[in-house]
Structure 1
């Protein structure tokens, strides 16, 4: 018999895509999709059960359907239907605890895949240039979704110790983007004008939603060489982009603000429900974050289809033109960079610059 896979968070777009994709795998016999709300998208032949993972009902489902593989996608930074932050934290943390308790008691569960985030590393001024899976953060996240992911991973490690017979795969995704991306960072990049932190140009990494689906599918199966895909893995596209590069490629002007002013502006737009300027997002837009992906390639055996730049390009196309056409903006930057240097502006009597306005070069994060 094939695998029986239970997927949490099926009402979200990403969860729905994964449910439809995993059904096509010949090793999978049945897919059980679970969420507290009814999904608006089709789930094909998967059986949908409306259930809140914060309730003990989840244990009954594991037993009733003899589930052997659990894919936990219901750890997220945006509440469905405009729910409160408190309810979202309960689903992320309390829901995970309840799910893990059910898996611990289940004699049939053999594999657990957890969607996590590189947010667990935080963003701080003294961070290393590149985080590996074993690099401790300089400053643990103090709140929001980042703190949720830290707590979730702590509970998952405890479960792995209590059930060493279960293969546990934790996937730390970089910022997920794509045409259907639904995240605080996607909302930020959709603003007509991008507020930035004065004096900072953070390095950012992205992973395409298509690659997310494929990595989740790979994590739910045994590796090609017959071993179990288990452990913790950073998942991101090759390369990095600076925030200034992202703004230019979107054709959106930036408004550099002092950090206190940006925090105030963030609170104002958050009140209006436009986007989420949480403290963790402000730290990301200040200090950035880059992770190594060697383990993703060497152990998990996955190479992303999209680089960070290609992921962002696909996202940018889905958002339409900004206020400033990228081609015209790039031309203006080139013309400014080509002006004669001003006297007294540097060691040669002028400002050093390049065709991209004197920005820092991108760096590889592999």
Structure 2
């Protein structure tokens, strides 16, 4: 397993990390995703550690807190401390019916972190991520609360999820000026089916020392090919009732076909090729992979062994090209005469 430093920190994180969204047995949307009990989750965590994975990603809202609980139980049963398995979790989304049980105000952040620590069973969180921006709370209030938690020793590092380039710039300006704990990561949706972050987020993250960690690298399993018919009927799965992240099959199926073609040539799977493409991207720090079984996790982790040739990457990038939004298509047009000889 390869490791990289997480942003402007001294923390080494495995390139492939374990997502815990499948842990627990939540209701509502979580019923479509979760389902692993303590025993199943413990087996997955043990296997991940054996393969060199050293970070597990969860959230306070996954299965209404059950994901954090099951994560903590698995870590305790296996005797894993932070030297062997780091824990990343999140705060921002609704955890109760009250008006202050959601958002990034100081009260909700501190209360949610205390609850997360209790569920996970540790005295600190290695990476606390704000799950998204909060348009109703001043960003400096949020960042000050995060810095306080770092100074108190309850949180080691702080990051974000789903932040725009503008969000990252504002956060960097505030933390730099105030000498508060900086954001070291931004967890974003990125795959061959969704390359939007290439327009701005990736460049701004790099300039500000922020690592990009990737959620849903297979676009909700679509890039595995199971939902694209091949000589028969496409397989059933959670996407038949829960289309998230949103996929337009007419645009993504050609990508799946190219993945299958390259996978066949390399003796790999379409999913492994899709993950290998991400791992080969300079802007990607770590890729979060979820699983329901040891077999599925093993297959995903083998993506680290898949070597894509320049021809393969070119084919994948060509088939996944999209129309850039304005002003990027105009900039691209004018950049044609500003290429180094």
**TM-score, with structure 2 as normaliser:** 0.32
> Which protein has the bigger helix share?
2
Structure with the greater alpha carbon radius of gyration: 1
**TM-score, with structure 1 as normaliser:** 0.30
